[in-house]
Amino acid sequence: MESVARGGTRWKRFAVVMVPSVAATAAIGVALSQGALAASFSVSGQSFKVTTDKLVGNGFVQYGGVDVGVDSDGKKAAHPVAVSGFKNATITNMCQSVVTPDVPLVGTITLQLNAGGGGTPVKADNLVLDVAQLDTDAEFKNINIGVAAGSQSKGPKGLKPQDPTSFAQEADQAVLTDVKQTAWATTAGTFKLSGLSMKLHKGKKECY
């Protein structure tokens, strides 16, 4: 990690630090009410891919976590993730894809969602994202690196890190461009997907 001073900071291609995931399959165009926002989730065992042209998030915090799910063999599996929270975010030109293999009589199926184009971005409040891998150009405003996860004050209220003493970072704002990422889970207090298009494709047709 590059050493930085407090204030405006730009990092290029900063992998698995910022988390610009934008929609879980279960969150299609619907506001998700989660109450106290969790630090980890029970996941299906399937990750999904997301691309966006630009994500602007205000009130950002990030720390490590673990998601637990069931793999294809029916065994419990743990997935280390970077958990990121935003008080609010706008996302331009979003694509999300999830691949389901071995569907009886059909084979592999890809569900692809697109939203936030045509000049009207996706909007989300109290956004919490669990991501395994990320490539993006990122710019942070007033970033603080090395705070305790349980003492952060800029992210969504109600976040509950698994380890409150673990390493975390927070910033007033994060701007990400040319985003490509793999995620395990996403939740939000509200999630408005303008211009939503959902399509099923036979075979593998991911966003990237």
Query: Can you say whether the dihedral through the CA atoms of 110, 46, 41, 14 is positive or negative?
Result: negative
Amino acid at 147: V
| Contact assessment for residue 190 and residue 120, using Cβ atoms and an 8 Å cutoff | no
Taking the alpha carbons at both ends of the chain, their separation in whole angstroms is 26
Give 6-64 as a DSSP string: SS-EEEES-TTTS------GGGTT-----SSPBS--EE-S--EEEEEEEEEEEEEEEEE
Query: What are the tens digits of pLDDT across the range 133-190?
Result: 999 999 999 999 999 999 999 999 888 888 899 999 999 999 999 999 999 988 888 9
Q: What value does the mean pLDDT take over residues 88-107?
A: 93
Query: Which of the pair, 198 or 39, is modelled with greater confidence?
Result: 198
| Contact assessment for residue 207 and residue 95, using Cβ atoms and an 8 Å cutoff | yes
| Contact assessment for residue 187 and residue 201, using Cβ atoms and an 8 Å cutoff | no
Query: What are the tens digits of pLDDT across the range 55-92?
Result: 999 999 999 988 887 776 777 888 889 998 999 999 99
| Contact assessment for residue 156 and residue 121, using Cβ atoms and an 8 Å cutoff | no
Whether this prediction's pTM lies above 0.85 is answered by no
